Amino acid sequence: MGRVTLQTIADEVGVSRMTVSNAFSRPDQLSADLRATILAKAAELGYAGPDPTARSLARGRAGSVGILFTDTFSYAFEDEVAAGFVGAIAAELAPTGSAITLLTSDTTADFVPARDVALDAAVLYACNDDSGAIDWLVRRRLPLVFVDHRPRPGYDSVNIDDREGARLAADHVIGLGHEHLAVLTTAHGAEAGFVSAPFAATHVVSEQRLLGWFDAIHGAGLDAPVVQAPKHGDPADAIALLWELDPRPTAIVCFSDVAAAAAIRAATEYGLVVPDDLSVVGFDGTQLAAWSQPSITTIRQDVAAKGRAAATLLGERMTGSTKRARRIVLPVELVVGDSTAPPPTQR
């Protein structure tokens, strides 16, 4: 037998070509028994189904939702928060039959993912404000949802209350009696070093957390140095700068649980005991925080809820069931672990 087509199967089963097509693309248009017969005959003849490209053209949709990252693909799998977010979206979209396509902002002379990849809609996750990929997706007039991003007029967005979370973190250690705090952030550049006010953040998460930390710090009549670590790589050099300060900080509030774990490791190598000599607070509420020794006091965000909210907004936007842009801000909570205690002078 030559090349197997829809017509080949139709002739074998004794139905129309359209009925065979519906068995693959519109199963609700025929009985379950007839569909099973058609699919069994297709399998017997070695037919995998209609060409996906042709099917997409016929439907007028790509069957894929993009998730745009500023970072590399590996970030989506290696970072616990990013992986949890993608997993939540995947679970929510699975019943719709939509695939997920991961996009990065990286481009070449001939290929711009945000411009060239076939998509029905996209989620823009934790992208920098100045990302050119955002402009391409906007120009394509796709349904878009911005997540962990500065809200844009006319577009749906999902954020957590980063400012409140950071305020809770700083308030916690201030409430324990700490007056010599330091802030460890990872979102201001590639080089380790101190950051001076005003803090020019190109990312809303970094901006809001800095504002929240200093809401509490300045509200208590205190001040604190801000040190940045490279976004990718070991933050040890940045953390080591804090040991040179006089007075040395007795508490560090960190941009993430990953940064907090690095701070605890660096403190231990320096000869400090956490929390006896140094209190450390993270952000995100990851498994890393729970499993660390000591367990890390952190600000918990519900990553799964964030993914579900983004998928729900996107689905409603794709079906046209909503027109008004919505902004969702999810709450956070302080989870006290074993990495914080009163400063040494109060024990």
Domains 6-59 and 64-160+303-330 share a fold: no
Q: Who has greater pLDDT, 209 or 56? A: 209
254: pLDDT strictly greater than 90: yes
Please, which residues have CB within 8 angstroms of residue 175's CB and are 6 or more apart in sequence? none
Answer yes or no: CATH 3.30.1330.40 is held by domain 64-160+303-330. no
pLDDT digits (tens, 9 = 90+) for 70-102: 777 787 888 899 999 999 999 998 888 788 899
pLDDT digits (tens, 9 = 90+) for 265-296: 999 999 999 999 999 999 999 999 999 999 99
Map residue 280 onto helix, strand or coil: strand
pLDDT digits (tens, 9 = 90+) for 125-166: 988 777 888 999 999 999 999 999 988 999 999 999 999 999
Average pLDDT over residues 194-199: 67
211: pLDDT strictly greater than 70: yes
Helices first, then strands: H and E counts in the chain = 14, 13
Domain boundaries, the chain: 6-59, 64-160+303-330, 162-301+334-346
Q: Which of 195-204, 254-263, 299-308 has the lowest mean pLDDT?
A: 195-204
Please report the pLDDT score of residue 204 as a whole number.
86
Query: Closest by alpha carbon to 158, among 258, 67, 286?
Result: 67
Q: Using CA atoms, how far apart are residues 216 and 320, in angstroms rounded to an integer?
A: 42
Please report the pLDDT score of residue 113 as a whole number.
80
117: pLDDT strictly greater than 60: yes
Average pLDDT over residues 242-263: 95
Fold of 162-301+334-346: Rossmann fold (3.40.50)
- Token pair recorded at residue 329: 């801000």
Answer yes or no: CATH 3.40.50.620 is held by domain 6-59. no
205: pLDDT strictly greater than 80: yes
